[in-house]
Chains A and B, each alone.
Chain A
Amino acid sequence: MGVNYTYAQSVKVEGHVNDENGLPLPGVTIVVEGTSQGSITDFDGYYEMSIPNGEAKLVFSYVGMQTLTVAVNSRSVVDVVLRENVEALESVMVVAYGTTTKEAYTGAAAVIDSDIIEDRPVSSMEKALQGTTPGLMVSSASGQPGAGSTIRIRGIGSLSAGSAPLFVLDGIPMSGSISDINPNDIDSVTVLKDAAASSLYGSRAANGVILITTKQGKTGTTKISLSGQLGVSERISKGYDLMNSTQFYEHSWMGLYNEALLRGETVNEAQVYAQNQVKAIVGYNPFGVDNPLDNNGKLIPGTQVLTNTNWRDEIYKNGIIQTYNLNVSGGSDLTKVFMSLGYFNDSGTTIGSDFSRVTNKINVSHKINDFLNAGINSHLSYSKTNAPPAGTGGANPVRSAEVINAASPVYDGAGNYEWGNTAIFDFNPVGLAALDKYIYKTKRAVVNAYLDVDISPSFKFRTSGGIDNSLDDGLNYYNPDHGNGAGVNGRSSASRSDNLAWNISNILTYSRKGDLSYLEVLAGQEALGADYSVLSAGVTEFSIPGKPDLVWGSKPEQPGSLTSSWTMVSYLTQVKYDYDNRLYLSSSARVDGSSRFGANNKYGLFYSFGAGWNISKERWMPELSWLNNAKLRASYGTSGNNSIGNYASLPLYGSGANYGGYPGITPIQLENADLSWEKIQSYNLGLELRLFSKFDATFEFYSRNSDGLLFSRPLSAGTGIGSILTNLAEMENSGIEASFKYNLINNDNFYSSIGLNISTNTNKILNLTTDQIVSGTKLLEEGSSIYQFYMREWAGVNPNNGEPMWFVNADSDDREENTLPASAFEDPLGSGKQVTSNYTDAERKRLGTSLPKVFGGLNYDLSYKNFALNFYFYYSLGGNVYNNDYAANMHDGVQTGSNLALDAAKAWTPNNRYTDVPRYVINNQDQSNQMSSRFIEDASFVRLKNINFSYQFPQKLCKTMKLNSLKAFVSAENILTFTSFKGFDPEVAINGTTNNYIPGVKTVTMGLKLEL
């Protein structure tokens, strides 16, 4: 009421309010200090008002900005610049079942802001997280567009149950993939690492929790922003060289020649044999004449080469990545809205693979009255993927590119596809990409609604319900003439699945603030469940080509349908106590009951304790000018892991064991009524420092003890099933995490900072109920890593005869006796050790692990006026990889028609005795390409993960274009990698084996972002 009252001696004052970028700030409240007299800035940030006298002070306030008090000092024009309230933004963080301030938090958690995730040419947000946070390991085995990555927080927590963290979207645990979420809708991501942070999620928190918070509308003028990005991608590296057609033809000749010699034929006979057979082995004569090779198997000079197919060039292409996003954000004091529409398209770098996605988000919150607040967060998406199969099957184009030899043409003379290659007969990947279909579609809706009730100033209540529904649709079509479908005249298989997860929670909080203390108590209940159902059908015998729908086939195959469900009920509580901003205590407890576990073990209790101590605020601490902040944290707690499938404890007979037209059933699973969750105990010790107002450092020491690890324990075949799921083992993950950030320059025009983070993780199995478990390339045993390689040790090639040699390692415990086998001899290469050329006589040995010894990121930010440059490196050092893919290209004659790496040309010959590549013999029986350390490589790498350069157009220019702001940027992903690894990409599956996955991609994109 005083606003309109004008004092007689009042003075008039006017001015502009801008933000740090010089943009006008509309809607800023200006009040004369100590009065209720005030004004508000208009659209141009301009204000004018009357003040009592020239000595008055003006208070400028605006949401998200630091409140500024300015003395008028008898001026008539007062222009001010409001700064973003960095402090406020940083200190509030989203945590389990609520928010807290960074200061008061007792757990180990990291917050990643939207600016790391936005404007990155990636389909899914986790790819943007790689290297940003210590302790967070992100690895992408496949470059298939739209494919997710493997995420591990603080090492591998489980042997066989899932080791992926729990994802929580706006407070609702997700049950499907996170790759349906548009990264540009994300406001922040919180990674909860220790028990104090995550234990409130109980039986699902063992592998850490990642909280995703999406953008919300803000009070004020409606902001409309539009961004577009266009880029080009290609496979991440060229990979090792493969043989061309001439080299392969000559090498195959040599293999045949050697085969005949070993059989006891004369040199002459062997030459004739090789001349006669070489075309059959290679599949094609790529030359213009019938007998292109001389008697020594070398190409006669001047011979014309007609075919020299580079299959990689046929399979790989440049991909185009496009993303477009439209965001609308705004609201009043009562209602706030955020809406977005997003489109992402990646045409893929591999023939037949692509991905596109449309997303929509609407977040609304509404204040019903002074004690009720309701809201709804919704996410809708639709994605479509074309994804040819991975692995060792014939239809995998990636494998085809590596193994089909260069003498095999793509097309015959008439321009039709040619199908006769001898590596994967009848599987021409170019033809199959045109004729076969692998189409996957997903519709996803994640909706949650909540109601907040302010019962009294101390009591608050929130009830919320969420639904996460995925509808997946898959269609595989094999054409009738070639490849997988040829034998049945074409086959189509379709499947539809529906995964509906629901969640209801009710949380009551009580808080009381005293003079020095603050107490908060939370109690709640949660119930959740999921129903998964699938329907599948197939049909063969297609007469009309190119029509994949099931109606076109005439012969139906066995259809299938099933439903799988699980439920959980939980009670949770948490107490937090802060004293004098110096001491922080927290503790939590949760009881989970789950349908997944054995009858004897349905319920579990999980709890945690945490404490934080702000040493720099202690009175006895001297006021040190260089020490701004020092905080010590410690926590202990338990959590569990329940990712084991829904019915793992039951003794079951499965359907589908039909015979002779009669339906049959068959045992599929042994009973384990004691089956329980994996229990994890975590310890964490953290130290946060801020020095000289510009250097931040955080150190964390952690140890995670997993007990009762779920593992499918191998059993003798005599038990029928051969394995049983048991709570078998105990494992420890321990490590150190450190992150540093240093503000190099920070003034009006110039900002520059550098950050580094380092993580180590040691994974150790503490206890197994059985001595050793050998599985594939790995050995599980007490005292060693879960990903410890175990195989025979390669000793090189015998220079006298070209045979492979392995170290006998008689003292290894693979075989009990330490006697040397009859085949052992002293290493002719002079290692002084005993070697053997008989593969089975060598004993297997422990040969390092696939997990890196240290990994992390290094980032650098620079901004000058309107320019900004940011890049960051990701590094992973000390991990080993067993390179299956390379092994397939170094087969030494076992896979007769399959292409070879150029390295294979170094094969032993009497004239090339000292080499690491054994003799090349068609149908080689030396076992030289069997699993051994010959194919283990160091997969350490340093990668320029992202580099981003942006320019913010000047305000004036924007104005003439009627825009609020305009930004242009260039972003490049994965463009440089430093490694000695032989394959395309040292970033392979986390267990350290390659399996013909689509190689990773490097991408360069350009984008524009404008705000209306």
Chain B
Amino acid sequence: MKTKVITLIKAAFLLLIFTGCGHDFLEEEPTDAISEDEVFESYVTAKAALIGTYDQLSSFSFGGLYNPIMADIMGEDVMVNSVNNWNWWIEVYQMNLLPNYVYINNPWWNGYKLIYDTNKIINNSVYIPDATSDEINDLVGQARVLRAYTMLKLAQMYSSAYAKDPQTPSILLPTGDEEDIYTGFKRERLSDVYDYIEGDLTAAANQLKENDDKGFFDRRAANALLARLYLDKGEWALARDHAKLAYEGLTLMDVNEMYSGFSTRNSETIYTIAYTQEDNNTYLTLPSFYWPVGGYSSMRANKDFVAEFSTADYRKGFFLKIDDIDPDRFLIVKFGHNNSVGNAERICIRASEMLLIEAECEAELENYTQAQDALYKIQRRSNPGVIKSTATGQELIDQVLLERRKELFGEGFRWQDIKRRQLPFHRDGDHWVKLSFGPQDADYYKMTFPIPQSEIDANDMLENSDQNVGY
């Protein structure tokens, strides 16, 4: 019996050793992730990667909330309350920013993640075995617009204006072809960055068709972004041409739609972030901060800005004084919730902006009639009785710029409008932090974000001396 048992045990021992040793035994793969190789083995997964890139764009720490809200808080027309606000955006509003703040970090890191994701798609889509050339063009074209959109945004935030110095050090320019991830990236000149963006958008405008689903970038969106790019560069004719290509054939929304809360796409939408409340934080949305109740509800309008609207202007109705909520300042009802708190698409590009670009460019090109016409199209929607402007020269340009503030406030334009035109910054009225400086003043550095300290610390090609002036 004893020998029998021992033989049995020996057999079990050997069996275990040999089964344990099998090659597959040490190969494990996760069930909630797939390897990079697999992604570009089929069109379906590559498409899912493109969707994931849009998700990055829609993130609250990028296009969903941070970028648009900060771009207005860094201006003169709106402000954030200092109380009952969980301290959101206070330092941004005070324009008292340090390179380690989340407001500085998040858009940067989120933006570069987006660029990385799009690089993967742009560089690998051509190898997808089962994709048609139309499908490849669509993937690559959209990824190019996404990349360009992100780079333009980052360049506007983290480098001083093109109008000031095209040679200024700007952002990093990773292309996905780097051999060594450890080398780091240097800050490229702003003009090179803009050239790169221009290349992407021009290619995309050729690759893409019009898409009825405005939750995705299409040819129209590529042209709209080209218009923005040329506007920054002061290339007025090009900006005008692409603005026209972008809005051609679209109908402006009417006043009723304008009052519906900017929470869903409409006839003039060129691109909107297709927000879904199921998988996003509803509190970290534009309406959560802007709408006077339900969310953080802490955005207010400067009384001087409200005074700029004529009483006949429907848009004046966007501002309310309700003592029970805030006895001191104007509430803003432009951005509403769609049935539940924070549930709203965020319209990023719309035809009205393109018309205003057209107006500004025509004015700069001294085509005053065209400029007045374009301006009038925007003004009469909100004020049918308005008299068409007869101004020319700088006066007309100023009128267009004022109209941009009135039409686009809260949509994330004011910061860059001040920068690209190198306007003086003057915050007064009932602001609780008042500031005043011009483009020649040292304080103008505040109009540019610092490079995040985390980037300088991690990037071998950057030193603290590469930091933006003033920080």
Residues in chain A within 8 A of chain B (CB atoms) = 263, 280-281, 371-372, 394, 422, 424-425, 451, 453, 455, 461, 463, 487-489, 504, 506, 525, 527, 557-558, 560, 562-569, 593-596, 602, 646-647, 650-671, 713-722, 724, 769-770, 772-774, 814-817, 839-840, 894-897, 922-923, 925, 927, 930
Kindly state the separation between the CA atoms of A569 and B98 in the bound complex, as whole angstroms: 51
A660-B276, A930-B98 known; A488 vs B465 contact (CB < 8 Å): no
B34 and A653 within 8 A (CB)? yes
A715 adjacent to B172 (CB under 8 Å): no
- A725: shortest Cβ distance to chain B, in Å? 12
Inter-chain contact B342/A453, CB cutoff 8 Å = no
Q: At the interface, yes or no: B423 with Cβ under 8 Å from chain A?
A: no
Write out the residue numbers on chain B whose beta carbons fall within 8 Å of the beta carbon of A657.
51-52, 55-56
Find chain B residues with CB under 8 A from A816 CB: 463-465
Tell which of B12, B99, B457 touches A772, judged by Cβ atoms closer than 8 Å.
Answer: B457
CB-nearest residue of chain B to A671: B36
Instruction: Establish whether residues A455 and B54, one from each chain, have CB atoms under 8 Å apart when the complex forms.
Output: no
Chain B interface residue bracket vs A: 35 or more
Q: How far is the CA of A149 from the CA of B87 in the complex (A)?
A: 33
User: Max chain A CB contacts within 10 Å: which of B181, B215, B462?
Assistant: B181
Binds A, one of B115-123, B256-264, B358-366, B372-380: B115-123
Whether A563 and B31, one on each chain, are in contact in the complex, defined by CB atoms closer than 8 angstroms, is yes
The A-contacting residues of B in range 294-352, CB under 8 angstroms, are 294-295, 340-342
B113, A721: Cβ atoms under 8 Å?
yes
A663 to B34, CA, bound (A): 14
Tell me the complex Cα distance, A453–B39, Å.
53
The one of A569, A659, A817, A923 in contact with B94, judged by C-beta atoms closer than 8 angstroms, is A923
Which single residue of chain B is at the shortest CB-CB distance from A568?
B26
When distances are taken between beta carbons in the complex, the residues of chain A under 8 Å from B29 are: 647, 650
A653 to B53, CA, bound (A): 12
Most buried by A among B113, B288, B458: B458
- Pairwise interchain contact B28-A567, C-beta atoms closer than 8 A: yes
A625 CA to B326 CA in the complex, in Å? 90
> Can you spell out 30 A-B residue pairs with CB atoms less than 8 angstroms apart?
A424-B86, A425-B84, A487-B295, A487-B341, A488-B341, A525-B16, A557-B279, A562-B31, A566-B28, A567-B26, A595-B27, A650-B30, A650-B35, A652-B33, A655-B32, A659-B276, A660-B274, A669-B33, A671-B36, A714-B458, A716-B185, A716-B461, A718-B172, A718-B178, A718-B184, A720-B119, A769-B182, A922-B82, A923-B90, A927-B98
Q: What's the minimum C-beta distance from A465 to chain B, rounded to whole angstroms?
A: 10
Are B36 and A896 in contact, with the CB atoms below 8 A?
no
C-alpha gap A390/B461 in the complex (Å): 38
Contacts of B111 in A (CB 8 A): 717
Which residues 17-32 of B have a CB within 8 angstroms of A?
17, 20-21, 25-32
CB of A716 within 8 A of CB of B184, answer yes
Complex CA gap A569/B16 in Å reads 10
**Set of chain A residues within 8 Å of B295, measured between Cβ atoms:** 487
Interface stretch among B2-10, B129-137, B239-247, B402-410?
Answer: B2-10
Q: In whole angstroms, what is the CA distance A720 to B147 when docked?
A: 13
> 0/1 per residue, B428-471, Cβ < 8 Å to A?
00001110000000000000000011110111111111000001
Contacting pair A453 B115 (CB below 8 A): no
**Which residues of B sit under 8 angstroms from A394, Cβ to Cβ?**
86
Can you name the residue of chain A whose Cβ is closest to the Cβ of B216? A660
The residue from B84, B463, B471 contacting A840, defined by CB atoms under 8 A apart? B471
List of B residues within 8 angstroms of A422 by Cβ: 83-84
Cβ of B289 within 8 Å of any chain A Cβ, yes or no, is: no
Q: Which of B27, B116, B215, B276 contacts A721 (CB 8 A)?
A: B116
Q: What is the bound-complex CA distance between A167 and B111, given in angstroms?
A: 43
Q: Is the CB of A667 within 8 A of B120?
A: yes
Cβ of B49 within 8 Å of any chain A Cβ, yes or no, is yes
Known: A717-B112, A895-B87, A896-B82. A567 touches B25 (CB 8 A): yes
Closest-by-CB residue of A relative to B452 is A717
Residues of A within 8 A of B464 (CB): 814-816
Chain A: CB-nearest residue to B345 = A660
Interchain CB contact under 8 A, A461 and B9 = yes
With both beta carbons as reference points, the residue of chain B lying nearest to A593 in the complex is identified as B26
B13 proximity list for chain A (CB < 8 A): 463, 506, 525
Inter-subunit contact B82/A923 (CB<8 Å):
yes
Q: Which of B39, B108, B432, B461 contacts A923 (CB 8 A)?
A: B432
A372 touches B5 (CB 8 A): yes
Known contacts A372-B5, A646-B28; A654/B182 CB under 8 A: no
* Pairwise interchain contact B172-A716, C-beta atoms closer than 8 A: yes
Cβ of B278 within 8 Å of any chain A Cβ, yes or no, is yes
The 6 A-B pairs of least Cβ separation, nearest first, read A720-B116, A664-B51, A660-B274, A657-B52, A717-B112, A664-B52
What distance in Å separates the Cβ of B327 from its nearest Cβ neighbour in chain A?
10
B45 at the interface (CB under 8 A from A): yes
Q: Hey, which chain A residues are within 8 Å of B120, CB to CB?
A: 667
Are B51 and A659 in contact, CB atoms less than 8 angstroms apart? yes
| Interface assignment of B250: CB less than 8 Å from any CB of chain A | no
Neighbouring B residues of A930 by C-beta, 8 Å: 98
Beta-carbon nearest neighbor of A524 in chain B:
B13
Cα distance, A718 to B108, chains bound together (Å): 10
B31 to chain A, nearest CB (A): 5
Closest Cβ–Cβ distance, residue A572 to chain B (whole Å): 12
* B278, A665: Cβ atoms closer than 8 Å: no
Q: Which of B20, B52, B215, B454 contacts A527 (CB 8 A)?
A: B20
A664-B54 in contact (CB<8A):
yes
A666 near B55: Cβ-Cβ < 8 Å: yes
The answer for the CA separation of A930 and B137 in the assembled complex, in Å, is 49
Q: Does B283 contact A (CB under 8 A)?
A: yes
Residue of B nearest to A656 (CB): B279
A654 touches which of B32, B109, B462 (Cβ 8 Å)? B32
> Given the complex of chains A and B, what is the CA–CA distance between A724 and B180 in angstroms?
12
Given contacts A567-B26, A661-B276, A664-B52, contact A562 B20 (CB under 8 A): no
- The residue that A716 contacts in the complex, of B90, B216, B455, with Cβ under 8 A, is B455
A839 to B433, CA, bound (A): 20
Q: In whole angstroms, what is the CA distance A19 to B404 when docked?
A: 97
Contact call B279/A558, Cβ cutoff below 8 A: yes
Closest to A372 in B: B5
In Å, the complex CA distance between A568 and B27 comes to 10
Given contacts A595-B26, A657-B51, A664-B55, contact A897 B36 (CB under 8 A): no
By the criterion CB–CB under 8 Å, are B48 and A665 in contact?
A: yes
Complex Cα gap A651–B458 (Å) = 21
Given the interface pairs A281-B83, A717-B112, A721-B113, the reply to whether A654 lies near B16 with Cβ below 8 Å is: no
If A487-B294, A593-B26, A896-B82 are given as contacts, then 12 extra A-B residue pairs at C-beta distance below 8 Å, sorted by A number, are A487-B295, A562-B31, A653-B52, A659-B274, A663-B48, A667-B117, A669-B33, A716-B459, A717-B459, A722-B113, A816-B463, A930-B98
Q: Which residues of A contact B16 (CB under 8 A)?
A: 504, 506, 525, 527
Q: In the complex, which of the residues A453, A560, A565, A720 contacts B6, with contact meaning CB atoms closer than 8 Å? A: A453
Complex contacts, A658 vs chain B, CB 8 Å: 51, 55, 276, 279
User: For A669, what are the chain B residues with a Cβ–Cβ distance below 8 Å?
Assistant: 33
Please name all residues of chain A whose beta carbon is closer than 8 Å to the beta carbon of B115 when the two chains form the complex: 718, 720
Q: How far is the CA of A504 from the CA of B21 in the complex (A)?
A: 13
A664 x B49 contact (CB < 8 A): yes
B125 contacts chain A at the CB level, 8 A cutoff: no
Contacts of B457 in A (CB 8 A): 714, 772-774
- Nearest-Cβ distance from residue A555 to partner chain B, whole angstroms: 8
Rounded to whole angstroms, the CA-CA distance of A482 and B6 in the bound complex is: 68
From B49, B90, B174, B181, give the contact of A653 (CB < 8 A).
B49
CA distance A662 to B33 in the complex (A): 17
Tell whether A717 pairs with B108 under 8 Å between CB atoms, given A281-B83, A665-B49, A722-B458.
yes
Proximity string of chain B (82-104) to chain A, C-beta cutoff 8 Å, 1 when within and 0 when not: 11101100100010101100000
B49 & A557 in contact (Cβ 8 Å cutoff): no
Given A506-B16, A717-B109: A647 in contact with B55 (beta carbons within 8 A): no
Select which of B48, B173, B340 is within 8 A of A488 by beta carbon: B340
Residue of A with least CB distance to B180: A719
Q: How far is the CB of B138 from chain A (nearest CB, A)?
A: 14
